[in-house]
Structure 1
């Protein structure tokens, strides 16, 4: 069973930054109607970054988690495409508009891709000479 290596000091700092960012992402989600789901997703990614600093996480766990995140992102991909075809791209930073579901779908798609990248980073860690 192949595991991800324990990261170098520089990579540990990056992991602490990722941990903090994903915790912030998680807390910000708590005001959403489906906030518990998104809080859990972002918190799991945050914990993955933190745990990677202390313990080797088996690659199959990281791969399974990444596939789950990207698999869920696929459900939002068509809404992301709808958003790309709109003229007013700044709408994504505004409030949710119920007659424009592609806005929330795009935010969720981008969030899932960012979360997957956080987990993929754990797969890519290589031990650097100290």
Structure 2
């Protein structure tokens, strides 16, 4: 029952995140990323399990997260060069590292949700 509730929360959250990314500079990338996670979690609610797809998605998300970590003005630069300033002071990505660091953590959240499903089912 907890898995169902968790997946309802994940499904709705990722759906909202997909909607919020419609006005992003790269919605062609982020809307499908969040929609695929939302659909994957939503299917669990209805008893549909696709562990191979979850693992493929997690692999894609983690590879992309690694790219964002090492990219110029990515997570590594946010930690070392910029000394970890707040990422949530404003919703506007006014500094070059904000967008990539937020995207990195979004990918980790999605991956965690899908891995929870993988190991719980």
TM-score normalised according to structure 2 size: 0.85
Structure 1: gaps spanning 5 or more residues: 1-8
- Render the CA deviation track for 1:24-56: whole Å, top value 9, x for unaligned: 111111111102321111111011001012233
Q: 1:102 aligns with which of 82, 90, 97?
A: 97
Instruction: Tell me the matched-pair count.
Output: 115
Q: Bigger radius of gyration, 1 or 2?
A: 1
Q: Is 1:125 aligned to residue 120 of structure 2? A: yes
CA distance in 2 between partners of 1:36 and 1:113 (Å): 19
- Which residue of the partner structure matches residue 89 of structure 1? 85
RMSD: 1.6
Write out the 4+ residue segments of structure 1 that deviate beyond 6 Å after TM superposition. Answer: none
TM-score normalised according to structure 1 size: 0.79
CA distance in 1 between partners of 2:42 and 2:77 (Å): 35
Structure 2: gaps spanning 5 or more residues: none
Deviates more, 1:56-65 or 1:39-48: 56-65
